[in-house]
């Protein structure tokens, strides 16, 4: 009896460990925000009403596609992940998972996610999902070692989720979807440069070139982050001007944009890691606040 219980506990632990490894590989915690923006894009389409089944299917498709892209990213970066304290414990660099298993996971989740988007929504959203996966997994990821334009390249798949959601609901790429894409596209520059500023030593050790201005965390980098944060203010008002959302969401977008800009200017003033960390957390606050405001104030 004791031996049977021991075997059951051992099996349960092995399953839990494997689930945890898959979760780390697919970055489910970070992917949630990405998929949420896709749901926002879907629900903002004129005439689309909240449907729990549809929302859950969109979440599933988005999680699988994003998870596949993240897995491909970690397959590419298995060796460089060993050089960074933050990423060394991941399943591949730590040796807990074989590369073949990760490749299989990436293929299955990618195909399943694209199938869900195509079968449950439309071909357009499936094609955009495929484009996002390819750009992130096979263009942005290797580009990180070439030059800092990788951030520009990576901002495209990073901004596609709300456009994918819009396409899933409207089956077109009209101005409303592009306005949501523009917000998330501009947002990524101060967001990602703040992260790269904080992790500069690790990224340099791994050979990643992600900061502008010769790859150094300096005032020029901070000035560029502030420029994009400034552009977010008019971009945040665009959904209101296109009559997708109401005036309250426009006011919220302006106030949130000023808050985000203040944090970017603070990075320029202080030029240090604590200010970069505040900008990074401010970016999460900004995007969450305006997306919730847009949902609640849909016309």
Kindly report, residue by residue over 92-120, the tens digit of the pLDDT: 998 888 999 999 999 999 999 999 999 99
The verdict on pTM exceeding 0.85 is yes
Assign 124 a pLDDT band (cuts: 50, 70, 90).
very high
Residue 10 has pLDDT above 60, yes or no: no
Q: Are residues 25 and 167 in the same domain?
A: yes
Does 128 map to a domain? Answer: yes
Instruction: Count structural domains, the chain.
Output: 2
Two tokens at 280? Answer: 């990074």
> Is residue 14 a part of any domain in this protein?
no
Average pLDDT over residues 223-249: 97
Percent of the chain whose predicted confidence (pLDDT) is above 70: 95
Residue 214 in tokens: 């010769």
Residues 161, 188, single domain; the answer is no
Q: Which of 143, 171, 199 corresponds to the end of one domain?
A: 171
pLDDT per residue as tens digits for the range 158-186:
999 999 999 999 999 999 999 999 999 99
Residues 6+ apart with CB under 8 A from 28: 63, 67
Q: b/e map of 275-297 (b: 16 or more CB within 10 Å)?
A: bbbbbbebbeebbebbbebbbeb
pLDDT at 254 over 70: yes
- pLDDT at position 226 is 97
In a domain, 210, yes or no: yes
Secondary structure class of 298 (helix, strand, coil) = strand
User: What pLDDT is attached to residue 20?
Assistant: 85
Would you say 46 and 244 are in contact if contact means Cβ atoms under 8 Å apart?
yes
Integer distance in angstroms from the first to the last C-alpha of the chain?
A: 63
Q: Which of 171, 198, 217 is the last residue of a domain?
A: 171
Task: Answer yes or no: is pLDDT of 4 > 70.
Answer: no
Q: In this predicted model, which residue has the larger pLDDT, 84 or 160? A: 160
Do residue 101 and residue 189 come from a single domain? no
Classify each residue of 211-232 as buried b or exposed e, where b means 16 or more C-beta atoms within 10 Å of its C-beta: bbeebebeeebbebbbebbbbb
In a domain, 1, yes or no: no
Which pair of tokens denotes residue 256?
A: 């949130």
Examine the domain organization and report whether 66 and 101 are in the same domain: yes
Does 33 share its domain with 102? yes
pLDDT score recorded for residue 162: 97
Residues 45 and 157 in one domain: yes
3 located within any domain: no
Domain stop point among 171, 200, 232: 171
Predicted local distance difference test score (pLDDT) of residue 153: 94
Distances in Å between the Cα of 3 and the Cα atoms of 11, 12, 23, 147 are 12, 14, 30, 57
Confidence band of 215 (pLDDT split at 50, 70, 90): confident
pLDDT at 8 over 60: no
Tokens representing 39 are: 């749901």
**pLDDT level of residue 204 (50, 70, 90 thresholds):** confident
Print the domain residue range for 94: 21-171
pLDDT at 144 over 70: yes
Query: Mean pLDDT score of the chain, rounded to an integer?
Result: 92
Q: Determine the pLDDT at residue 7.
A: 55
pLDDT value at position 28? 77
Q: Check which CATH number belongs to the domain holding 287 and give it.
A: 1.20.120
Same domain, 157 and 293: no
Q: CA 60, CA 216: separation in Å to the nearest integer?
A: 38
Continuous H helices in the chain: 2-26, 28-43, 52-76, 78-81, 91-94, 99-120, 123-134, 141-143, 150-170, 175-198, 200-206, 212-215, 219-241, 247-270, 273-296
> What CATH number should be reported for the domain holding residue 143?
1.10.357.140
Position 263 pLDDT exceeds 90: yes
**Residue 31's pLDDT is what?**
82
């Amino acid at each position: 009896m004791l031996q049977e219980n021991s075997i059951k506990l051992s099996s349960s632990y092995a399953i839990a460990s494997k689930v945890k490894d898959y979760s780390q590989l697919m970055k489910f915690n970070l992917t949630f925000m990405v998929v949420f923006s896709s749901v926002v894009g879907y629900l903002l389409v004129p005439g689309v009403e909240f449907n729990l089944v549809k929302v859950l299917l969109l979440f599933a498709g988005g999680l699988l596609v994003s998870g596949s892209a993240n897995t491909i990213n970690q397959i590419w970066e298995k060796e460089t992940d060993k050089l960074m304290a933050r990423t060394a414990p991941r399943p591949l660099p730590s040796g807990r998972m074989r590369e073949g298993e990760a490749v299989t996971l990436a293929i299955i989740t990618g195909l399943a996610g694209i199938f869900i988007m195509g079968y449950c929504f439309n071909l357009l959203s499936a094609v955009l999902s495929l484009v996002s996966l390819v750009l992130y997994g096979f263009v942005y990821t290797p580009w990180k070692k070439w030059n800092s334009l990788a951030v520009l390249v990576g901002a495209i798949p990073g901004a596609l989720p709300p456009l994918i959601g819009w396409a899933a609901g409207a089956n077109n790429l009209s101005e409303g979807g592009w306005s949501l894409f523009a917000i998330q596209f501009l947002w990524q520059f101060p967001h990602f440069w703040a992260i790269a500023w904080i992790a500069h030593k690790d990224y340099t050790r791994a050979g990643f070139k992600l900061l502008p201005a010769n790859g150094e965390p300096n005032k020029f980098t901070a000035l560029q982050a502030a420029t994009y944060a400034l552009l977010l203010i008019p971009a945040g008002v665009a959904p209101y001007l296109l009559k997708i959302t109401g005036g309250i969401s426009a006011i919220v977008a302006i106030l949130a944009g000023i808050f985000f800009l203040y944090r970017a200017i603070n990075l320029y003033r202080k030029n240090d890691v604590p200010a970069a960390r505040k900008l990074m957390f401010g970016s999460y606050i900004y995007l969450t606040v305006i997306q919730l405001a847009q949902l609640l104030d849909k016309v």
